[in-house]
Chains A and B, each alone.
Chain A
Amino acid sequence: MRDKPLLDWAWVFDHLDDIGGRSLQHLQLALLAVAAGLAISMAVGIIVARRPRVAAVVIGVSGILYTIPSIAAFAALVPITGLSTLTALIPLTAYTQLILIRNIVAGLTGVAPEVLETADAMGYTPRARLLRIELPLAIPLIVAGLRVASVSTIGLVTVAAIIGDNFGGLGVFINDGLRNFFPTAVYVGAVMSVLLAVLVDVAFVLLERVATPWSRLPATVVETGGA
């Protein structure tokens, strides 16, 4: 038997369906985790944004969560949540909290005080102020957080493959490749994972462009004395 080539293209073409399916699963799991993470961090961020000391504690706790090794987190949950999607989802969601809460709090506290003051003075209710002023102005920082969280979550999904073939997305290729000394599968898993991360990142950049047309304005205005 001759040496296997680094990239076995025949295998790749034979497994296109499999690669597509696993990529989709990978993406779904990552986006689900980020969506859940966003929902939780939004609620937490909004509550703590006006309470700097509570915010510091919450961010500290999410920082500690972030330091738990991912393999250990997945493995530790198996006895509790079994071999379910939840086992993959819980750690992935938890890891998004540090970056998301930090950015949401920064986005909300970064709104200029005079903007908040005039909103109050004009008779905005706290709810209207949050929804129409504070959150829209926090979008650039929230999206920045989402980009980092998504990219790192897409990377982490590969680790979830240790729970089983149903949860690791492209990580299953990497695990199989390592176990069977088949580099092609490892490369396919890694490259596709990176590709997904780049695609998602680009999607967020475009989304932000559309959502915040005001945030990228040319600074061309000069005082003319005319007005």
Chain B
Amino acid sequence: MTSAIAPAPSGATPEGGSGRAATVEFVHVTKHFDSGARWSGTPGALNDLSLKVPAGRICVIVGPSGCGKTTSLKMVNRLIEPTSGQVLLDGVDIESRDVIDLRRSIGYVIQQTGLFPHQTVIENVAAVPRLLGWPAAKRSARSEELLALVGLDPAAYGTRYPAQLSGGERQRVGVARALAADPPIMLMDEPFGAVDPLVRERLQQEFLRLQRDLAKTILFVTHDVDEAIRLGDQVAVLERGGRLAQVGTPEEVLANPASDFVARFVGADRGLKRLSLVRVGQLRLREPATARVGEPATSVRDKVTGAFPYVLVVDDDGRPIGCADPDQLTGDGSVTASGLVPASPVLTPDTTLRDALSMLLTAQALAGVVVDAAGRATGVLTIDEIGDWFRMEAGRLRAGPSGTGMPAVG
């Protein structure tokens, strides 16, 4: 019996995530498919790959087509054996493990799903539990639990066949099936590559939400840089010939590409991509000068500072109504709700800096108002502040790796 079915320790999430995860480590792994290649000097599918994925983290392996991503993934469950080098799980060479046991303890999700066409959704999800000899009642209970977890109503979907599902639904079933025996490791090969962009984005978000609870060690393959950045705790960039070009956090790879290849691969818009990693709520926001309708104009004028030269007029609950030019708050009158410039764009703490910048440019505004969940104004964000963030980050990254960076072994 494999460790994959050990009972979840107390404190486990209701979804069945046991919190167990394993480190995955590639140690000088090389693979030549053509046995003559070693001697002729042609590049292999993988060339001396050394990479360590910490337990419970998502490592995204990204690179152009044919660079060895799939090959590296299939070495972890021994669908492909290395020509030389080792793959270690929790420090143990997988060569020493029984291959069937090993595979039953590793989830596997691929783009084409590989769902069994002759089995219902419930049966598909229960495939590994069945191999492990779980009793039928426990299997179907687990199947239904997992379907609900991936957002499919077991009553509506359980008895369908894969041919009766949409592409996105099939991928959800594929993920549920891979999670069935609560494996500590998941291998995912372009799992969202075949669905349309809207569905993909939703699946990505739900995938991250799931991972927050389950905390599996996940090796995720994609050729899409944006997906890699969005999903990875760690991004490993492979280049043709199966060479590891760079490994680091998405932030590190975008800010300091290790080579021209990486810089070209992540794209000229890597600055904007970095902005998509940061949310407005992570910045220390400037508090604007605010005023309520009816306040005397003179007192308000004095609150205005240089960076945001307006007065934000709010209602009694603190919700923004509009912006007033202090020069037009004449003499001894009081602040009125008329003649205000609309307070747009409105940002939330969850807005990414990239979206915020885009909204500012679109609205041709120098600043946007940030509101909390209740709609109360909590601050303003200016285009200049986005530039300041870049300068600060540059200093931080120069001062040394952040500590979350996960350099290659060897």
Q: B116 within 8 Å of A by Cβ?
A: yes
CA distance A115 to B195 in the complex (A): 19
Given contacts A118-B114, A121-B106, A227-B199, 9 further A-B contacts (CB under 8 A): A112-B112, A112-B117, A122-B128, A124-B131, A137-B118, A214-B119, A221-B163, A223-B167, A223-B196
B143 vs chain A, min Cβ distance (A) = 14
CA distance A124 to B77 in the complex (A): 12
The interface size of chain B toward A, counting residues with CB under 8 Å, comes to 40
Q: Chain B residues in contact with chain A, CB under 8 A? A: 74, 77, 79, 100-104, 106, 108, 110, 112-119, 127-128, 131, 151-152, 161, 163-169, 172, 177, 187, 195-196, 198-199, 202
User: CB distance A123 to B100 under 8 Å?
Assistant: yes
Residue numbers in A under 8 Å from B164 (CB-CB): 217, 220-221
CA distance A171 to B177 in the complex (A): 56
CA distance A72 to B245 in the complex (A): 72
Q: Contact string, A135-158, partner B, CB cutoff 8 A, digits 1/0?
A: 011000000000000000000000
Q: Among A120, A214, A226, A227, point to the contact of B117 (Cβ < 8 A).
A: A214
Q: What are 15 inter-chain pairs, A to B, with CB distance below 8 A?
A: A112-B114, A114-B113, A118-B110, A119-B116, A120-B79, A121-B187, A122-B103, A137-B117, A213-B161, A217-B163, A221-B163, A223-B195, A223-B196, A226-B168, A227-B199
Within 8 A of B (CB), among A107-130: 112, 114-115, 117-125, 128
CA distance A115 to B114 in the complex (A): 4
Residue numbers in B under 8 Å from A214 (CB-CB): 117-119, 161, 163
User: CB distance B118 to A222 under 8 Å?
Assistant: no
CA distance A123 to B112 in the complex (A): 18
Residue numbers in A under 8 Å from B172 (CB-CB): 227
User: CB distance A117 to B79 under 8 Å?
Assistant: yes
User: CB distance B118 to A212 under 8 Å?
Assistant: yes
User: CB distance A117 to B199 under 8 Å?
Assistant: no
Q: A10 within 8 Å of B by Cβ?
A: no
Q: A225 within 8 Å of B by Cβ?
A: yes
The interface size of chain A toward B, counting residues with CB under 8 Å, comes to 30
Nearest neighbor of B162 in chain A, beta-carbon distance:
A214
User: CB distance A121 to B77 under 8 Å?
Assistant: yes
A143 vs chain B, min Cβ distance (A) = 13
CA distance A110 to B128 in the complex (A): 23
Known: A122-B104, A222-B166, A223-B199. A117 touches B110 (CB 8 A): yes
B30 vs chain A, min Cβ distance (A) = 22
Residue numbers in A under 8 Å from B202 (CB-CB): 227
User: CB distance A114 to B112 under 8 Å?
Assistant: yes
Nearest neighbor of B117 in chain A, beta-carbon distance:
A214
Residue numbers in B under 8 Å from A115 (CB-CB): 114-117
Known: A125-B100, A219-B163. A227 touches B108 (CB 8 A): no
CA distance A16 to B138 in the complex (A): 57
CA distance A22 to B352 in the complex (A): 83
Nearest neighbor of A118 in chain B, beta-carbon distance:
B114
User: CB distance B169 to A227 under 8 Å?
Assistant: yes
User: CB distance B117 to A122 under 8 Å?
Assistant: no
CA distance A49 to B199 in the complex (A): 39
CA distance A219 to B103 in the complex (A): 33
B201 vs chain A, min Cβ distance (A) = 11
User: CB distance A225 to B198 under 8 Å?
Assistant: yes
Residue numbers in B under 8 Å from A180 (CB-CB): none
CA distance A225 to B190 in the complex (A): 19
- 8 closest A-B pairs by beta carbon, nearest first, are A118-B114, A123-B104, A123-B103, A121-B108, A114-B112, A227-B168, A114-B114, A214-B161
Nearest neighbor of A115 in chain B, beta-carbon distance:
B114
CA distance A121 to B169 in the complex (A): 21
Known: A117-B79, A227-B172. A122 touches B166 (CB 8 A): no
Q: A133 within 8 Å of B by Cβ?
A: yes
Residue numbers in A under 8 Å from B151 (CB-CB): 227
Residue numbers in A under 8 Å from B106 (CB-CB): 121
Nearest neighbor of A218 in chain B, beta-carbon distance:
B164
Residue numbers in B under 8 Å from A225 (CB-CB): 196, 198-199
Nearest neighbor of B111 in chain A, beta-carbon distance:
A114
User: CB distance A223 to B168 under 8 Å?
Assistant: yes
A138 vs chain B, min Cβ distance (A) = 10
User: CB distance A121 to B168 under 8 Å?
Assistant: no
Q: A67 within 8 Å of B by Cβ?
A: no
CA distance A112 to B110 in the complex (A): 13
